[in-house]
């Protein structure tokens, strides 16, 4: 048994890549799953590998399933095809396409073959051994903060904060209206006091002393 080390590049930016270690006896479906995990994609869409060469020309497909599309040759199936059986070159290339509507494309290159004696057999293969660059956003919603922002949003309930601003404005408006009503009431009280100053002076004096 040998451990195969692949470098998986995002086609649009080769500075963004993931190194993946996988046993040569494992199937392509396991390579499919670890690539999606490495780039934080879901696993609900169609996917296929192409055997390729140094100039990234697409050859025979190794597909997740047989899709309703035209094939030059019948595809191999991921869950039936061991990765080692498709390695015919020391720097074997594959092309991986995920979600045929979005056509996310990744370029895969074999960069090292590790003999069984030199491999860390305590690892649960396949594994991601290196991460370089911020991966693409599958649905255009994942920011640099990723899950951290979702946690912050939930903790502080940012969605309700927007409604709160509206309520605060209403409270200010209500306070203004109440203040105006109070002023009107004060004016009326002042008028009544003026009328009663001449006859009830002693009563007002007693009231102030009590307070």
In tens, the pLDDT along 166-175 reads 444 545 555 5
Task: Give, in degrees to the nearest 5, the angle at Cα 42 between 37 and 47.
Answer: 90
Burial zone of 23 (CB within 10 Å; 0-12 exposed, 13-18 middle, 19+ buried): buried
Question: What are the pLDDT digits (tens) for 53-65?
Answer: 999 999 999 999 9
Stated pTM of the model = 0.67
Q: Model confidence at 177, in pLDDT bands (50, 70, 90)?
A: low
Q: Are 114 and 3 contacting, i.e. CB atoms less than 8 angstroms apart?
A: yes
Instruction: Provide, rounded to the nearest whole percent, the portion of the chain with pLDDT above 90.
Output: 60
C-alpha to C-alpha distance for 24 and 109, rounded to whole angstroms: 14
Q: Are 127 and 37 contacting, i.e. CB atoms less than 8 angstroms apart?
A: no
Q: Is the pLDDT of residue 85 over 90?
A: yes
């Amino acid at each position: 048994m040998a451990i195969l080390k692949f470098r998986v590049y995002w086609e649009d930016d080769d500075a963004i890549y993931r190194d993946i270690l996988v046993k040569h006896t494992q199937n392509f479906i396991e390579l499919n799953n670890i690539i999606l995990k490495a780039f934080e994609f879901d696993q609900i869409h169609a996917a296929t590998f192409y055997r390729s060469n140094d100039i990234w020309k697409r050859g025979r497909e190794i597909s997740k399933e047989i899709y309703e599309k035209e094939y030059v040759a019948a595809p191999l199936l991921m869950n039936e095809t061991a990765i080692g059986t498709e390695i015919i070159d020391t720097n074997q290339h594959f092309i991986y396409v995920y979600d045929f509507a979005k056509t996310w494309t990744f370029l895969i290159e074999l960069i090292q073959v590790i003999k069984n004696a030199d491999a860390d057999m305590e690892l649960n293969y396949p594994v991601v051994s290196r991460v370089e660059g911020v991966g693409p956003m599958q649905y255009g919603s994942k920011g640099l903060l990723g899950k951290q922002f979702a946690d912050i949003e939930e903790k502080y309930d940012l969605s309700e904060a927007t409604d709160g601003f509206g309520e605060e404005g209403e409270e200010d408006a209500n306070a203004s209206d109440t203040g105006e009503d109070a002023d009107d009431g004060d004016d009326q009280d002042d008028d009544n006091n003026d009328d009663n100053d001449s006859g009830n002076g002693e009563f007002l004096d007693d009231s102030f002393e009590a307070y």
